Amino acid sequence: MALEIEEQHVESLSSMGQKLCIKNFIWCKEEWPAINYNDFADGDDIPTISLQAILNGKKGQEYEKLCQAMVSAGEKWGFFKLVDHGVAWETIENFRRQLHELFDLPMEQKLKGARSATLPLGYCATNPDYGQNLPWAEILQLLQSPQQVVAFARKVFGDQHQPFSDAMIESMEALEKLGMTIFEMLAHGLGLSDDFFTKNFEEKEATMIRVNRYPPCPLPEKCLGLGSHTDPHTLTILLQDEVGGLQMLKDDNQWVGIRPVPNSFVINIGDTLEAWTNGRLKSVIHRALVNKEKNRLSVAYFLCPTTTAIIDCPPQLVDPNTNPKKYVPFTWGDFRKELIIQKRVLGKTALNRYLISP
């Protein structure tokens, strides 16, 4: 019976001419999840931060408290949930609807916007770079570039591209604005000038969005939507739907599910921000599980600095005795090149090359 399942053709993730079976997606045993996609340990969840008190733009005592709370969450968990964040929920709902419509199209039509062999931008069914341990996911990656969004949408939808293009561009703009607010708050909470990070984000097109849609999977105990990894960028704003499946690895080496909350974002620190803050803010390993019944949609918005931005931790975050400088300065462009060559990042291997004493 088990073998029969493994021989089943995976239509939703097989590109044209490719015939993938479930067994192609089975991960090595060490990676098999021991807890389910919908297991959430109450009390052990990441902190929730509400921006309600500062939505009117006033920066009083409440602002100080929130900045501190954000930094503490970044230090202890590397993750937090953000509610009352100021992004109109209709914008997000419409975006999600458009994304589902895209993924619901016949494979043939989606492949009109397929990524090329050299640039990981566009649509792909699972990830062809991986060879083994294939992610059980359809993926769309695009840069924050209205021209690129429209070019992609035109390939897939032709003259009917406008609703998709508009929804994608509007959401990217809202996420960018939210990202800058978070960066200002983190800088403030760390005792840096408020624009310490944001002034390095002038090149909007450096930022990337990845949409993951995980189809129902007949063998969720042996497959993964996305294997354990850290995000190499600076900060991720993640939108997950109500299904659940995102898990993070706590410092006691236990996986914990991040319970979906309506109208919220999950924010996590990436490797580059960990280096930028000399290890104060933590980039934490996480993964996405799949399930037997439901499609799951998640959108990861990876904030990336300008190509020439120099990632160098400020002196305020270095103490020669207790916390010496951990990384040599590097540019985002240099690190990004490494990431493209390396293709699959396991742990923080790409960043390790900048460690002062590995």
**Which residues are catalytically annotated?**
296
231 forms part of the interface with ligand AKG (CB under 6 A): yes
Nearer to ligand AKG, 87 or 288 (CB): 288
Smallest distance from Fe ion to CB 162, Å: 30
d(CA 26, CA 333): 34
Number of residues that bind ligand AKG (CB under 6 A): 12
212 forms part of the interface with ligand AKG (CB under 6 A): yes
350 forms part of the interface with ligand AKG (CB under 6 A): no
286 forms part of the interface with ligand AKG (CB under 6 A): yes
The residue whose two tokens read 């969004």 is: 149
In the list 300, 303, 304, 309, the residue contacting ligand AKG (rule: CB under 6 A) is 300
Q: Which range binds ligand AKG by CB under 6 A, 92-100, 117-125, 183-191, 239-247?
A: 239-247
298 forms part of the interface with ligand AKG (CB under 6 A): yes
Smallest distance from ligand AKG to CB 344, Å: 12
Smallest distance from ligand AKG to CB 288, Å: 4
288 forms part of the interface with ligand AKG (CB under 6 A): yes
Q: Which positions from 246 to 275 touch ligand AKG by CB under 6 A, shown as an x/- string?
A: x-----------------------------
Smallest distance from ligand AKG to CB 233, Å: 9
- Write out the two tokens for 280: 């104060």
226 forms part of the interface with ligand AKG (CB under 6 A): yes
- Write out the two tokens for 139: 């993926």
Q: Which positions from 223 to 262 touch Fe ion by CB under 5 A, shown as an x/- string?
A: --------x-------------------------------
Residue 138 and residue 212 in contact, taking contact as beta carbons nearer than 8 Å: yes
Smallest distance from ligand AKG to CB 261, Å: 13
In the list 188, 210, 213, 336, the residue contacting ligand AKG (rule: CB under 6 A) is 210
Smallest distance from Fe ion to CB 283, Å: 10
d(CA 325, CA 329): 10
Interface residue list for Fe ion (CB under 5 A): 231
Interface residue list for ligand AKG (CB under 6 A): 210, 212, 226, 231, 238, 240, 245-246, 286, 288, 298, 300
